[in-house]
Amino acid sequence: MELGHLLFTVFSAFFGLAVGSFLNVCIYRIPKGMFFKEKHSYCPKCGATLKWYDMIPVFSWIFLKGRCRNCHEKISARYPVVEALNAVLWTLSAYFFGLTANAFVYDVLFSALIVMTFIDIDTKEIPNGIVLLIIILSIPLFFTARDVIWWQRLAGAAVISVPLYLIALVSGGGIGGGDIKLFFALGLVLGLYKTLICAFIAIVSAGLIGGVLLISKKVKKGFELPLGPFIALGGVLTVFLGDMTVNALRALFGL
């Protein structure tokens, strides 16, 4: 690895941590409709305004032993998990794509998917703003990512979302509108073949996790499992492994 590439990768790791702290704010405030109403970060338990040294990603949580400095109530482990996850994804993006426009696009995509994932877990809803952001992110890829032809991005937007929409119309529900919109947006980013791989990963992983939860009696029959996190998982894995998977399938079937 060249020195410039190495420095960019290290920088992405630390900056990804910092952005991860902001993502926690988004996850907490967006569902409450208070994103622009509060200027300072505060403890959700006691309302105390947090100092800068209480908001150092991951390290502050460890130093405070997972508790608020003021009220000593537990701070969810989700906060350092989100920060670390964002840092890992940004580091991998820098390593695989280098200092390119695509790397920056994928960084924002990964962060948006993290926010969407935890909001969907909490509320069973996918914010339209996240979907719109992903659609906007797809625009530069039409010009900078030469591995996917423009019409394949349009086909990717329709290949899963349109059948799901038709099924939802016929069945009168059962499939979340947010999931359909998310597949549409990711299809523009991934293209036709990678969107199919993304959907396969999402369906299989959701089925496995749902099955494990039912067998272990962690949930009851009829439990609504949010699909957004699994779509996000499929999207992230496909960004990194999609080309290799598509090439392997083409070689296997002689395409």
pLDDT level of residue 236 (50, 70, 90 thresholds): very high
Alpha helices in the chain (DSSP H): 3-29, 59-63, 78-97, 101-123, 128-144, 150-159, 161-171, 177-190, 192-215, 228-253
pLDDT digits (tens, 9 = 90+) for 86-144: 999 999 999 999 999 999 999 999 999 999 999 999 999 999 999 999 999 999 999 88
Side chain identity, residue 123? T
pLDDT digits (tens, 9 = 90+) for 68-87: 888 888 989 999 999 999 99
Q: How far apart are CA 253 and CA 9, in angstroms?
A: 36
Q: How far apart are CA 230 and CA 225, in angstroms?
A: 10
Query: Alpha carbon of 159 to those of 100, 121, 124, 217: distances in Å?
Result: 28, 25, 24, 35
From the list 143, 129, 157, 148, the residue with the least C-alpha distance to 101 is 143
pLDDT of res. 54: 84
Q: Give the alpha-carbon dihedral of 241, 244, 250, 254, to 10 degrees.
A: -150
pLDDT digits (tens, 9 = 90+) for 175-190: 779 999 999 999 999 9
Q: How far apart are CA 206 and CA 168, in angstroms?
A: 19
pLDDT digits (tens, 9 = 90+) for 176-232: 799 999 999 999 999 999 999 999 999 999 999 989 988 887 877 777 889 999 999
pLDDT level of residue 174 (50, 70, 90 thresholds): low
- Is residue 199 within 8 Å of 183, Cβ to Cβ? yes
2 pLDDT more than 80: yes
Indicate whether this model's pTM tops 0.75: yes
